[in-house]
Structure 1
């Protein structure tokens, strides 16, 4: 096979993989909407705990079914799992902390800057080379971020936007850590340890304003974890069927769902600045994903 043919083949899409990716993105958007609905009544640490504690169930069930019994959960990289979990806890905690003060679509858009942060972090921590497409995409991403934050408007507190950007930074750190773990660890094992360790870390926030949830709220907290853990497994299955570069553009359908859920549940609407910023950030992130 020629080099050109090889380069083209990595972007071929397997229909089942597309369906799986779309389902996973829908799941992530749904739990973000549920988290926003609960964010005014429960502290971020409590929501993060339930997301992680119940999120351990899907990968555990998957591993039990695969092993037809008790799965082998031994790992050679406990510190790597701990670092990954710590990054995820901070990422999700900061995202939820921002939700009472920011529209869902704005939060989703700013979270896409995670892709732009992976480049310099990979260079710093993994000694990977920064590509020319990144040098083009980074300024575009910065411009898009400024448009979404819209410093001339008082509609969104800049502090809330800063929380989401910090969330994206910790999310990028987590992605870099997964690259280290992925060489030797099974994805479901990574997801399981992430949920278990991260729930333990989030539990440390118990003294800081946790509330006893009513039955309806407890059901939503359970669903946040269950759907989040399932979506993670479904996305992993999608990436096993088709190259990541081919599937990455479908991640941005999450913005459509965020805008829809924001309108449906919270009466939110998209501003022109948010739309322009979203288009630029998505374009920059797409350049990055295609350059890998």
Structure 2
């Protein structure tokens, strides 16, 4: 899906790609959901749908804008800092303590990000690549929130409902913002690629929702690290991108940092999963913000 989206963003631009993909996705998934739904979502589930749908707008725009400007493997490696950001957010919003291992893991991952930026400077990829990397890191902050919300949402709703409302809310947000940005032209010659991107996105969303209903966010987030291998493969096959030693070294440091932080969390005696109903009011208010 990332490879399909990168090609589309390069051809059409970020906003038109996101806008027209949402149109195709909702056209496919809305009839299926409305036909198969047993009942309207609960108020609590609807709240999660709206919060996460709005959150995905800046998260996805920043990520795909950045993805069009940096190699895929580098973009995915930078996005791996999201689980560590999630732990910092848990410390701020939920009052969780951060032990020395978590801090060490964060420092190691930060060193990995620095290594990737150093490699980018040495390769002289230009200002656009630097801006793209910064956008991806910004997207990682939103995705850190998204990790927490995915688990809460998956416990409150079924995968098909989650996918429908995800595209409905984000699509509505895109169209509401269109008067400020401008209506893009029809993507002549790119409808097939947009349909592929929409189907891949829906498939991934359904699978993630199914998975997060059956396991915790901390456990499942580790599976996302396999994305580096896929990004390396598709970046090479589709765009002829090569993975630099700096990107490889930086990704290794980031993964090592995440592993150290995850072990620190799993070894804590109070590291039981947090149920959605246990989240304090300040965290709920922050979600609304």
TM-score by length of 1: 0.77
- In structure 2, the partner of 1:159 is 131
Query: Are residue 72 (structure 1) and residue 45 (structure 2) matched?
Result: no
- In structure 2, the partner of 1:219 is 192
Query: Are residue 274 (structure 1) and residue 247 (structure 2) matched?
Result: yes
- In structure 2, the partner of 1:197 is 169
User: 2:109 is matched with which residue: 132, 137, 141?
Assistant: 141
Task: Report the Cα distance in structure 1 between the residues aligned to 2:158 and 2:208, rounded to whole angstroms.
Answer: 14
Give the 3-state SS of the residue equivalent to 2:205 in structure 1. Answer: helix
Task: Report the Cα distance in structure 1 between the residues aligned to 2:136 and 2:238, rounded to whole angstroms.
Answer: 21
Task: Report the Cα distance in structure 1 between the residues aligned to 2:49 and 2:79, rounded to whole angstroms.
Answer: 23
- In structure 2, the partner of 1:116 is 84
1:193 CA drift (Å): 1.6
Stretch deviating more after TM superposition (54-63 or 150-159):
54-63
1:79 CA drift (Å): 4.1
Higher RCO (C-alpha under 8 Å, 6+ residues apart)? 1
Query: Are residue 47 (structure 1) and residue 11 (structure 2) matched?
Result: no
1:197 CA drift (Å): 0.2
Task: Report the Cα distance in structure 1 between the residues aligned to 2:40 and 2:244, rounded to whole angstroms.
Answer: 47
Aligned residues: 258
- In structure 1, the partner of 2:178 is 206
User: 1:234 is matched with which residue: 176, 196, 207?
Assistant: 207
- In structure 2, the partner of 1:83 is 51
1:37 CA drift (Å): 0.8
Using a 3 Å threshold, how does the CA distance of structure 1 residues 212 and 113 change in structure 2: closer, same or farther?
same
Structure 1 residues 236-284: Cα deviation after superposition (integer angstroms, max 9, x where no partner): 3345566665554432221111111111121211111110001111222
Structure 1 residues 93-121: Cα deviation after superposition (integer angstroms, max 9, x where no partner): 01111123211111111111111111122
Task: Report the Cα distance in structure 1 between the residues aligned to 2:216 and 2:148, rounded to whole angstroms.
Answer: 18
Stretch deviating more after TM superposition (206-215 or 265-274):
206-215
TM-score by length of 2: 0.77
1:60 CA drift (Å): 5.7
RMSD, aligned α-carbons: 2.8
